[in-house]
Chains A and B, each alone.
Chain A
Amino acid sequence: MRRPNEIAKDEASMATLAELTSVFEGIASMRISQTKTQVLESTKFFDELWKIYTQLRVDSLFSFGRDEGQNNRVVIDKELFIIITAEGGFSGDIDQKTVEAMLLQYDAEKNDIIVIGHHGAMQLSQRGISFRKYYKLPSNDRNINVEPIIKEVQQYRRSTVFYQEYVSLMDQEPKHISLSMAVKSVGSGNERLDEVISEQNYIFEPTSFAVAAHLERSMMKIAMSQLILQSKLAQYASRFRAMSASHQRADEETADLHMLYNRAKRGVKDERLKEIINGMKKSKKAAV
């Protein structure tokens, strides 16, 4: 049987673990609330910009903002896969699910991969899948710089983003979307073409064409930022879920250890009592 002081040490360690998981749970919960607000603000911003864009030109002409002096650029005839994962391995199983979802569609001949987040890069390396580039997942939720990714996107015929969607606190799903579709879907429902913006009724500087191309690039950047934000939200929720489960297990384990400690302490007391009684019996016999 283990000694009570050994069990007490284990109980104290387990209680520290329970406190630690509780702190991580709290941090994840706070980050979820902040990121949710950020996603809402960003969507509102996009909606207003989208309204101007749809009045300026129809979305079927969406060309990834390549127009401005880039007509002669050779476009890579492949589909670019962009996968958004967590930076560390502390985000539950959602990264693994996203990587698996991407690999179901991956063909080395037809696809190039760009990874955002170190955890995804590690998972692909472990599976022996090579990727074109790796970017760190932005630690900041504001002013995400997606310029380098957009430059890569503009080189390809098509681009698909594999990301993580926050369904609820306890439910996150891997998803994928074509980037041009992402721009359209974020802007859907805001397509009130009540007024056409043209050179007939507007002054453009420098030119209407430059403004339209700039708007396309801007919306692509915002859509990409939103997908990153959504993935971060799902990762925080997944982390929250993992930490909640760990917290619960640590609490249960602490309770079990406490019971074990009480039993061991009782055992020691019983043992001592037995020794005293035996001692008393022996001394009584000796006296007789």
Chain B
Amino acid sequence: MSDEPHTEQHNSTSTPNKGEQVEGKATVLVKVYAPSHVYFEGEAYSISAVNQTGNFDILPQHHNFITLLVPCDVIVRAPTHEEKIRIQNGIMHVKADKIIVFLDV
């Protein structure tokens, strides 16, 4: 089996403009990528992943945070769809409503 992250998309009906609040909900800017591929880049309501402590969610206004991710499904809840990215490892950096997930590191 390949170690490459695997992605799944679940679409919803609304299509808001990037950076806008959707139905009054605040968003964060998310980028999930590896040196060879960008898996997700855009606005999202929240992102879920797993580290050594367990499952966690990052929502807007989250405190600055750096964590090492363990093998899991990273779930990005975007306004238009929900994206599930299966990962082996990674580093998540959260700062000022901007979340970067570095994969394959």
Residue ranges of A at the interface with B (Cβ–Cβ < 8 Å) = 38, 41-42, 45-46, 48-49, 52, 141-143, 145, 197, 201-206, 210-211, 214-215, 218, 221-222, 225
Contact B36 A42 (CB under 8 A): yes
User: What are 25 of the A-B contact pairs (CB < 8 Å)?
Assistant: A38-B36, A42-B35, A45-B34, A48-B100, A48-B102, A49-B105, A52-B66, A141-B36, A143-B34, A145-B3, A201-B64, A202-B64, A202-B66, A203-B64, A203-B66, A204-B66, A204-B67, A205-B51, A205-B53, A205-B65, A205-B68, A206-B51, A206-B53, A211-B68, A214-B91
Task: Kindly provide the distance from the CB of A9 to the nearest chain B CB, expressed in whole angstroms.
Answer: 47
A48-B102, A143-B4 in contact; A197/B36 too (CB < 8 A)?
no
Determine the residue in chain B with the shortest Cβ distance to A221: B105
Which residues of chain A come closer than 8 Å to B6, judged between CB atoms? Answer: none
Summed over the interface, the residue pairs from A and B with CB atoms below 8 Å come to a total of 70
B102 touches which one: A49, A205, A206 (CB < 8 A)? A49
Contact A143 B104 (CB under 8 A): yes
> Which residues of chain B from 34 to 63 have a CB within 8 Å of any chain A CB?
34-37, 51-53, 63
Which residues of chain B come closer than 8 Å to A48, judged between CB atoms? Answer: 100, 102
How far is A142 from B2 in the complex, measured between Cα atoms in Å?
12
Contact B53 A142 (CB under 8 A): no
A143-B3, A206-B52, A211-B91 in contact; A45/B102 too (CB < 8 A)?
yes
Determine the residue in chain B with the shortest Cβ distance to A44: B35
Query: Besides the contacts A42-B36, A222-B35, what 20 more A-B pairs have beta carbons closer than 8 Å?
Result: A41-B36, A45-B34, A49-B91, A52-B66, A142-B35, A142-B36, A143-B34, A145-B3, A201-B64, A202-B63, A203-B66, A205-B51, A205-B52, A206-B52, A206-B53, A211-B67, A211-B91, A215-B91, A221-B105, A225-B35
A interface majority secondary structure: helix
**Most chain A CB inside 10 Å of its own CB: which residue of B51, B66, B100:** B66
Task: Kindly provide the distance from the CB of B18 to the nearest chain A CB, expressed in whole angstroms.
Answer: 20
Which residues of chain A come closer than 8 Å to B51, judged between CB atoms? Answer: 205-206
Which residues of chain B come closer than 8 Å to A42, judged between CB atoms? Answer: 35-36
Task: Give 6 closest A-B pairs by Cβ, nearest first.
Answer: A218-B105, A142-B36, A205-B67, A42-B35, A45-B35, A202-B64
Number of interface residues of B (CB under 8 A): 22
Task: Kindly provide the distance from the CB of A230 to the nearest chain B CB, expressed in whole angstroms.
Answer: 13
How far is A211 from B93 in the complex, measured between Cα atoms in Å?
11
How far is A215 from B91 in the complex, measured between Cα atoms in Å?
8
Contact B64 A206 (CB under 8 A): no
Which residues of chain A come closer than 8 Å to B102, judged between CB atoms? Answer: 45, 48-49, 218
Task: Kindly provide the distance from the CB of B22 to the nearest chain A CB, expressed in whole angstroms.
Answer: 27
Which residues of chain B come closer than 8 Å to A225, judged between CB atoms? Answer: 35
Which residues of chain A come closer than 8 Å to B3, judged between CB atoms? Answer: 143, 145
How far is A142 from B104 in the complex, measured between Cα atoms in Å?
11
How far is A210 from B51 in the complex, measured between Cα atoms in Å?
13
Task: Kindly provide the distance from the CB of B2 to the nearest chain A CB, expressed in whole angstroms.
Answer: 8
Contact A218 B91 (CB under 8 A): yes
How far is A52 from B66 in the complex, measured between Cα atoms in Å?
10
Contact B36 A222 (CB under 8 A): no
A45-B102, A205-B53 in contact; A143/B68 too (CB < 8 A)?
no
